[in-house]
Amino acid sequence: MSGNFLHRQPILRRPDGIGGALPALTLIALFFVVPVVALLLRSVTEPVPGLQNYAILFGEGTYARVFFNTFLVATVVTAVTAIVAFPVAWMLAIMPPALGSIVFGIIILSMWTNLLTRTYAWMVLLQRTGVINRTLMDIGLISEPLPLINNLTGVTIGMVYIMLPFMILPLVGTLRAIDPMTLRAAALCGASPFDAFRRILLPLSLPGIAAGGLMVFVMSLGYFVTPTLLGGTSNMMLAAMIAQMIQSLLNWGLGSAAAFILLLVTMALYALQLRLVGAKRMTGGI
Amino acid sequence: MLLDYDRLGWLRAALLGFTGLVAAFLLLPVVFIVLLSFGSSRWLAFPPPSWTLKWYEELFADPAWLEAALTSARIATMAAILAVVIGLLASFALVRGQFRGRNTLRGLLLTPMVLPVVVFAIAIYAFFLRIGLGGTTAGFVIAHTVLALPFAIIPITAALEGFDKSIEDAAIVCGASPFEAKLRVTLPAIKIGIFSAAIFAFLASWDEVVVAIFMASPTLQTLPVKIWGSLRQDLSPVIAAASSLLVLLTLSLMIVTALIRRKLSK
């Protein structure tokens, strides 16, 4: 046995190499990196070589409006999501497990429900004759139906709905990691609850808010389905514009240039997020 | 005492009330769509004048819906299997490998999750048109495997990181080959991670809309493409019926997951 052990020793010491990752690497290189790079090349070669596609995108007001809409919606969605998610995550972090698991169940159900199903529900709920307008009119709060759909209000409501779980779940982790003793110490030293919140709880949860917020912001920037269905044609966002340039206008040069801008912004924010929370913490999020 | 549930005082009532409101907000569309699917109004009046099953009858009378669902199930199953196998192999290298650029590799393999889907969708659409995979099942499966891979890698690497490698080494010391040790010691130990990976990878493909819209052909469309097409035409209650069945599927998946996790962790 001892001879066997010595004999096996080198095998034990040998770490796993890169070998196992080769199938994944091949898949990603061939069917992700190559197509994306090829697409981006089209932005500087079609219809003729040069940067004219970018000049058009940055030069014309129509496109500036799309970029503005996109950043505006992403910013508002991120802010609203963070403000709504924080108290919920706070409660979830300290709630009795029996009660908490009900709320978690609802969050997971909403998150796992088909995206189109959820968006369809909001299309029906928010329309002129929809339940929300009816209810508001019945209780006399408004006399005319509010325009809740085919505008940025509709997009924002639908997006906040979709993004909430992505903010709540990581924040629960952050809040659970805070030692309750720090807050007890603050109370003992005479801090009011408001002071304790402002000077201890909020700063300590800031990394979680920043990480979740960046994720929501990045996801919102490139979102296609919900803005397309709830925003209508006059309030286009970037992802929808890219799809339209390719699918309906067959303008590959302009479409891929717009795609490159979206990719660049997304990747820059992703890199920032990695630096902020570290690759491991972020990928442990699921 | 802000993190002490029993000593929050009036703040607790306020926060609980707010949490309840948000939970209701999250539940609202899901419940609403199910109720709507049983309502008799074609114009989606709510509350409906009466209750009916006719939208479900209409749904099942149209073979295109069933066909789209079967297509989705077929593609999602294949993509999930591929993503889990490839992801499992990659996870060993990512967690235990000692080579330069390991973190870069991890970042690269997870990028499909971060890059906006619309960018990948038009890129792979153009690429497949060129190499003749456009509108084919193989093309669908490959594209969805790329998108599902991060969702397989994340839970498997997490499980593998939590597994003590010396147990696997002990099996090798006791005479198992390294492969045998992985198969019979390590894999059973990380089965919850693998199971989660399979579920996430399946859902990543099953619910995927954007790539599917570009890849679909008149003869090959997945369920989300079918729903998308109907949504662009009108808000027919038949979509509510189809959606309710999807909600039912989600619920059963959640329950099965909870049961299996409980059983596996014993």
Q: Burial level of B61, CB count in 10 A (0-12/13-18/19+)?
A: exposed
Alpha-carbon distance values, A67 to A150, A222, B92, B147 (Å): 18, 11, 42, 26
pLDDT value at position A282?
45
Question: Is B148 found in the same domain as B112?
Answer: yes
Question: Is B124 found in the same domain as B152?
Answer: yes
Q: Burial level of A69, CB count in 10 A (0-12/13-18/19+)?
A: buried
**Is the Cβ of A23 closer than 8 Å to some Cβ of chain B?**
yes
Taking all residues of chain A, what is their mean pLDDT, rounded to a whole number?
A: 88
Global confidence as pTM: 0.89
Chain A, residues 239-268, CB within 8 A of chain B, namely: 239, 242-243, 246-247, 252, 255-256, 259, 262-263, 266-267
Number of domains in chain B: 2
Cross-chain Cβ contact A161/B25 below 8 Å:
yes
The residue ranges of chain B whose pLDDT is under 50 are none
Which residues in chain A touch residue B81, judged by CB atoms under 8 angstroms apart?
Answer: none
**Residue A277 is assigned to a structural domain of this protein:** yes
Give the one of A35, A107, A184 whose C-beta lies nearest to B26's C-beta.
A107
Number of domains in chain A: 1
The verdict on whether omega for the bond into residue B224 sits within 30 degrees of 0, i.e. cis, is no
Question: Is B160 found in the same domain as B63?
Answer: yes
**Cα-based angle A282, A212, A276 (whole degrees, multiple of 5):** 55
**Residue B28 is assigned to a structural domain of this protein:** yes
**Is the Cβ of B253 closer than 8 Å to some Cβ of chain A?**
yes
pLDDT value at position A2?
45
pLDDT band for position A15 (50/70/90)?
Answer: low
**Residue A189 is assigned to a structural domain of this protein:** yes
Cross-chain Cβ contact B116/A21 below 8 Å:
no
DSSP for residue B48: -
**Is the Cβ of B73 closer than 8 Å to some Cβ of chain A?**
no
**Residue B47 is assigned to a structural domain of this protein:** no
**Residue B50 is assigned to a structural domain of this protein:** no
Domain carrying residue B211: 55-264
Q: How far is CA A166 from the centre of its chain?
A: 7
- DSSP assignment of A126-162 equals HSTTSHHHHHHHHTTS-SS----SSSHHHHHHHHHHH
Interface test with B, best of A6, A11, A18, A245 (most B CBs within 10 A): A18
**Residue B46 is assigned to a structural domain of this protein:** no
Q: What CATH number should be reported for the domain holding residue A260? A: 1.10.3720.10
Interface test with B, best of A32, A40, A274 (most B CBs within 10 A): A32
**Residue B189 is assigned to a structural domain of this protein:** yes
Question: Is B122 found in the same domain as B237?
Answer: yes
Which residues in chain B touch residue A134, judged by CB atoms under 8 angstroms apart?
Answer: 46
Question: Is B65 found in the same domain as B9?
Answer: no
Cross-chain Cβ contact B26/A112 below 8 Å:
no
Cross-chain Cβ contact B30/A118 below 8 Å:
yes
Q: How far is CA A244 from the centre of its chain?
A: 22
Q: What is the pLDDT of residues A196-237, one digit of tens each?
A: 888 889 999 998 899 899 999 999 999 999 999 999 888 889
**Residue B48 is assigned to a structural domain of this protein:** no
Interface test with A, best of B15, B110, B114, B153 (most A CBs within 10 A): B114
Domain carrying residue A277: 40-109+153-283
User: Could you give the residue ranges of the DSSP H alpha helices within chain B?
Assistant: 10-37, 54-61, 63-96, 102-114, 117-131, 137-161, 165-173, 178-181, 187-189, 191-206, 210-215, 223-233, 237-264
pLDDT value at position B198?
95
Question: Is B211 found in the same domain as B158?
Answer: yes
pLDDT value at position A273?
82
Cross-chain Cβ contact A120/B27 below 8 Å:
no
Chain B nearest-CA distance from A149, in A, is 14
Alpha-carbon distance values, B80 to A64, A251, B67, B114 (Å): 40, 34, 20, 19
**Residue B42 is assigned to a structural domain of this protein:** no
Chain B, residues 20-39, CB within 8 A of chain A, namely: 22-23, 25-30, 32-33, 36
pLDDT value at position B182?
87
Chain B nearest-CA distance from A61, in A, is 23
Give the one of B2, B110, B247 whose C-beta lies nearest to A183's C-beta.
B2
Which residues in chain B touch residue A35, judged by CB atoms under 8 angstroms apart?
Answer: 120, 123-124, 126-127
Cross-chain Cβ contact A36/B4 below 8 Å:
no
Mutual orientation of helices A252-277 and A52-59 as an angle, nearest 10°? Answer: 80
Contact A215, A5 (CB under 8 A): no
Cross-chain Cβ contact B123/A38 below 8 Å:
yes
Contact B111, A37 (CB under 8 A): no
**Is the Cβ of B131 closer than 8 Å to some Cβ of chain A?**
no
pLDDT value at position A14?
59
Question: Is B80 found in the same domain as B24?
Answer: no
**Residue A28 is assigned to a structural domain of this protein:** no
Question: Is B195 found in the same domain as B111?
Answer: yes
pLDDT band for position A8 (50/70/90)?
Answer: very low
Tokens read off for A151: 């505008």
Q: Burial level of B117, CB count in 10 A (0-12/13-18/19+)?
A: buried
Q: Which residue has the higher pLDDT, A186 or A220?
A: A220
**Is the Cβ of B245 closer than 8 Å to some Cβ of chain A?**
no
Is the pLDDT at A12 greater than 60, yes or no?
A: no
Chain B nearest-CA distance from A30, in A, is 10
Interface test with B, best of A8, A16, A171, A269 (most B CBs within 10 A): A16
Residue labelled with tokens 């909020």: A202
**Residue A116 is assigned to a structural domain of this protein:** no
**A114-130 mean pLDDT:** 91
pLDDT value at position A63?
93
**Residue A251 is assigned to a structural domain of this protein:** yes
CA atoms within 13 A on the CB side of B105: 25
**Residue B30 is assigned to a structural domain of this protein:** yes
